[in-house]
Every structure is written in C-alpha cells, then in structure tokens.
Structure 1
Amino acid sequence: MNTGNSPAAAGRARLGALSIAISGVLFLLYPLVRPYADETSIQGAEAMASPAWVAAHLFGMIGFILLSLGLLGLRVALRETSAEPLVSRAVVVTWIGAGLTLAYFGAEDFGLNAIGQRALDTQDLKLLVELTEAVRFNPIAITVFGAGLVSLAVGSILAAVAVWRSGILPRWSGVPIAIGFALFIPQFFGTPAMRIAHGVLITAGSLWLASALWRAQRR
C-alpha cells in the first residue's frame, strides 16, 4: 500500500522508526546494566555509587526521549489516514508522560548515586536508607512519577490503536510495545530476571514497530 508520503515525509518517518528502535534497545540495556543488591547494605551503596548505576538509568532516560521523538515519525506516516487524530493524541500524552517521568529518573540516577557515594565514604547505612527513602517516596515525587508512567502507558496504547486502525502498518505491530509500557509500573516489583524479561518485551515490540514503520516508507 502506498502511504502517499513525500520523500521528505518518508525521511522523517524513517528517523522516527530509527528512534523507536534505539529506544527499545536502551530499555533493555537499562535493566541489564543496572546493578542489583540489597539497598540497605554496603553492597547496595556500592551499586548506587557505581558508574553502571548512572549509565543504566541514563539509558532509560534517553529511551523515554527517543520513544517520544519516534512517535512523531509514526504521526507523519499516519497523517493521511483516519488514525491521524488518535496518533496525534498519543504523541501529546507520551511527551507529557516522558517529561514527568524524567524528573524522577534524574533523581534516581544522580541523586541516589551521590547518596551511595556518601554512604560509602562514611560507612553510614542509616544515612543510605533514610536518604534513599526520602528521595524515592517523597509524596509529590512518587505521584509525579506514577502519573508519568501511566501517561506513557496510555500514549503507547493510543499509538497501538492508531496503528491497528491505520491500514498502513501490520495491525499487531503496535501491541507488544503497548503491553510493555502498560507493565512498566508492575515490573519495578519483580525480580531482576523479570525486569530484564520486561526489557526484552519492550525491545522486541519497539523493533517490530520500527521495522514495520520503516518498510511502509518503501511502498
């Protein structure tokens, strides 16, 4: 099926596909690289103070940004279909979700890294536990984080519905990534293996959607 895209529009859609694909890889690197340890122990302080902690959370943050940019490419591809209003809403909701989520991820990344380093310097586990809880469970912070992740889930579901209705991309190509973001909050309560499996799901879904979007520009 011809999408009717001009060369410039097709190029923007391909950039969107590339952004989605890279974001998916980063969402797998996040749980793979992140160190896991009892965060009330010295080992937990070492994990938080490590370069791997900073890198892993940075991968996640860049992933949220690239996902948001990628949906702009999806909007370009679907702009002449009946699904265009729906994918436009998906873009807006996802951008809001990414913005809200990044604030918390930044504190988790750089704030807890500094706390871990300080706890190692002082060998003060009470400091580690108290400050970690203060950062993570501040009522406003955790509410903003939750709202951001819910918005990302809603945005990805809207995008999946838009893909389903578009008639341009394979109907199921947006479903796995939507499931992955719908499960983003529950995966925080899982084991490291479960969190990595969740990363695999988002990566697979992202690569499928990106591949479908890229191929559609050749028709």
Structure 2
Amino acid sequence: MLTLGQRLWPTLAGLGFAAFPLLRPYGDKTGDAADAAAAFADPSWVASHGVCMIAFIALALALRARGARRSELGAWVGTGLLLPFYGAETFGLHAIGTHATISGADDLWQLADGVRNQPVALACFALGLLALAAVGVGVAVSSWRSGAVTRIAAIIVAAGLVTYLPQYFLPETGRVIHGVALGIGLLLLAAAPARAARTPSPAPEAIPRPIGPEVGENGPNRTVERTNHG
C-alpha cells in the first residue's frame, strides 16, 4: 500500500510541471518589447514559474518517498542549481516588466538579457538540467523490472526530464504538450506500486543439543576422575 508521501509528492510535481506551460504568458516570444513587458508584468508569470519551482522540489521528495536514494540526490543537486535562475526569471523579470509598462519598454530587452544571459546563471541552469536528465535515466533503469504501470510511468517521467532542456526551444504548443506529458507520467507514478523493500531471509533456527553425557557407539562416555594417592 502506498504511503501519503508516495502519493502526495508525485502528484504535486505532476500538477506543477503541467501547470507551468499552461499558465505561463508567452508575450516574450513575439519579439515585441511591449508584449514582453506585459507578459513579465502579468501575475500569471510569477504564478507559473512559482509552481514550477515547487514541482522541482516535489520531484526530489517523490523520489525520496519511493526509496530512490541516488536519483533523489541527483534531483536535489539539479534543483539547487536551477532555483536561483528560476528565482531571477520569476521575480527579476516581473519587476522589469512592471516598470516597463509604466515608464516605457525602451531598455526592456537589455535589462532582460542581463538577467537571463548572465554567464554563471546560464552555467548553473544548464548543469541543473543535465543533472535532471541523469535523474530521468536513473528512474527508467531502476523501474525497468517493476510492474507495467510503474514501468510506463517511469519511462514517461524519464523522457520528460531528459528533454527538459531542449523543450525550451519549442513553440508554445510543444512546451504545453511536454509539460502535460511529464505531469501525466508523475500522476501515474503517484498511483503505481512502489518498489518493495527487500526483506532479509530469516536465519536458520539452531538445533538444540541434548543435555547430558554424550553417547558414542560403545555407550555413554564416562569421565574417570583420577585421584592421586601418596
């Protein structure tokens, strides 16, 4: 029977990854500064990126709940590298967009590029997504001999994590399909049986030895006490 954590954390992760591309405004993809400013300033910009950050954390907790310790470690490493970039993207661009809608969007792209294309931030972002891709491979390998539902769910989740970096270059429809597919995989995982822990085999019972003198082929062995005289 699944525990609360084995159901809760994959469900939260699945809903978060699916909601992110559905809620995210895409005005920054049109190339128009006014559209980008409106997208950054939209409250759904903060909401969508916020639920995605929660999804990354819930993914690591889901792996912990299912006993996948190595994959959990990789998920924490990837999440730790990704969250600073997502935080800047969420709150920094939102502040830039809000300011641009009031005072004009003349320098919007310059300011946005300063947030998005900072070399250290980009390196952490790429390394974090590569760590998640490795997590995806580990999830698929560890679940290959599990039941059918677990195996299918793991393959979907693995494909979603491995392709999380290239999906950023897809148009809006492609990103929505990717997010929803990853969400479905995690929701299936929330309903799939967890890998049972291996129970050690019981030690063989010791055979009690009879109490009393040992009996040999020629009858009881008697111990002769030697008495010294003299």
Q: Give me the whole-angstrom Cα distance separating, in 2, the residues matched to 1:39 and 1:132.
A: 12
Quick one: distance in 2 between partners of 1:51 and 1:182? 29
Deviation at 1:204, TM superposition (A): 1.3
Residues 6-35 of structure 1: CA deviation (Å, up to 9, x unaligned): xxxx53xx3133211221111111000101
What is aligned with 2:105? 124
**Mapping of residues 133-148 of structure 1, within 5 Å:** 133-148=113-128
**2:74–2:135 CA contact under 8 A, matched in 1:** yes
Verify the 8 A CA contact 1:94 1:156 in the aligned structure 2.
no
> Residues 90-129 of structure 1, C-alpha deviation per residue, up to 9 Å, x if partnerless?
111111001111111101100000010111121133x210
Residues in 2 aligned to 1:159 and 1:59: alpha-carbon distance in whole angstroms: 22
What's the offset of the Cα at 1:169?
6.9
Shift of residue 186, structure 1, vs aligned partner: 0.8
Most deviating of 17-26 and 51-60: 17-26
**Residues 1-219 of structure 1 aligned to structure 2 (within 5 Å):** 11=3, 14-37=4-27, 38=30, 40-75=32-67, 87-125=68-106, 127-165=107-145, 170-213=150-193
Q: Name the larger-Rg structure.
A: 2
Q: Work out whether residues 101 and 144 of structure 1, in 8 Å CA contact, stay in contact via their aligned partners in 2.
A: yes
Larger deviation: 138-147 or 116-125?
Answer: 116-125
How far apart, in 2, do the equivalents of 1:35 and 1:167 lie?
Answer: 39
Q: Quick check: 1:21–1:210 contact (8 Å CA) kept in 2?
A: yes
Number of paired residues?
195
**RMSD (CA atoms):** 2.2
Distance 1:157 1:135 in 2: 31
Please, which moves more after superposition, 48-57 or 151-160?
Answer: 151-160
Q: Which has the higher contact order (CA 8 A, sep 6+)?
A: 1
Q: Structure 1: 5+ residue runs without aligned partners?
A: 76-86
Q: 1:106 to 1:49 in 2, by over 3 A?
A: same
- The runs of 5 or more residues in structure 2 that have no matched partner are 198-230
TM-score (norm 2): 0.79
* Distance verdict in 2 for CA 1:52–1:167, change over 3 Å: closer
Distance 2:183 2:108 in 1: 33
Identity of aligned residues (%): 37
Give the AA of the match of 1:179.
Answer: A
Query: Does structure 2 conserve the Cα–Cα contact (< 8 Å) formed by 1:42 and 1:120?
Result: yes
Q: Distance in 1 between matches of 2:115 and 2:66?
A: 36
